[in-house]
């Protein structure tokens, strides 16, 4: 967080512009959809949904089963751990922070049962990651 605040302060002090360059915005398909939206091919957009839908289980650990950054997020953070990847292109299509803004957004995450099963399959049942309670993501918060 300190690095994030340092970036904000630097931008404010220098008057420079900072842009989060989410690379997924610039895939051929997303550029095509943005162009179609801008030319009115879909009419007025009033609703959008997006999701981060690809298997990244093998990107959560090294060959010894030690967690990498994605795995640490699944272990410690109960929430959507990579929202910009799908949200940024949709935001462009909707004109967010150009002609419109979000009133609210909602994210839904599921339990990481797949992750404990995957660790069990790859590293065996004695690996801590093979235990469902090892992963925080998708666990209901206590009231």
Both structure tokens of 73 = 């997020």
Which has the higher per-residue pLDDT, 107 or 48? 48
User: Rounded distance, CA 89 to CA 107, Å?
Assistant: 16
Domain 21-134: give its CATH architecture.
2-Layer Sandwich (3.30)
Q: Is the pLDDT score of 83 beyond 70?
A: yes
Give per-residue pLDDT as tens, 42-65.
999 888 888 777 788 889 999 999
Per-residue pLDDT band at 141 (split at 50, 70, 90)? low
Q: Per-residue confidence at 142, pLDDT binned at 50, 70, 90?
A: low
The share of the chain scoring above pLDDT 90, in percent, equals 43
């Amino acid at each position: 967080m300190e690095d994030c605040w340092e970036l904000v302060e630097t931008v404010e002090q220098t008057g420079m512009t900072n842009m989060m360059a989410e690379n997924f915005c610039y895939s051929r398909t997303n550029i095509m959809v943005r162009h179609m939206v801008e030319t009115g091919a879909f009419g007025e957009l009033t609703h959008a949904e997006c999701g981060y839908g690809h298997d990244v289980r093998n990107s959560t650990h090294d060959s010894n089963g030690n967690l990498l950054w994605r795995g640490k997020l699944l272990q410690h953070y109960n929430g959507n751990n990579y929202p910009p990847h799908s949200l940024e292109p949709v935001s462009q299509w909707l004109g967010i922070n150009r002609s419109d803004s979000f009133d609210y957004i909602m994210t839904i995450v599921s339990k990481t049962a797949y992750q404990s099963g995957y660790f069990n399959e790859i590293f065996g049942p004695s690996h801590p990651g093979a235990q469902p309670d090892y992963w925080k993501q998708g666990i209901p918060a206590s009231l």
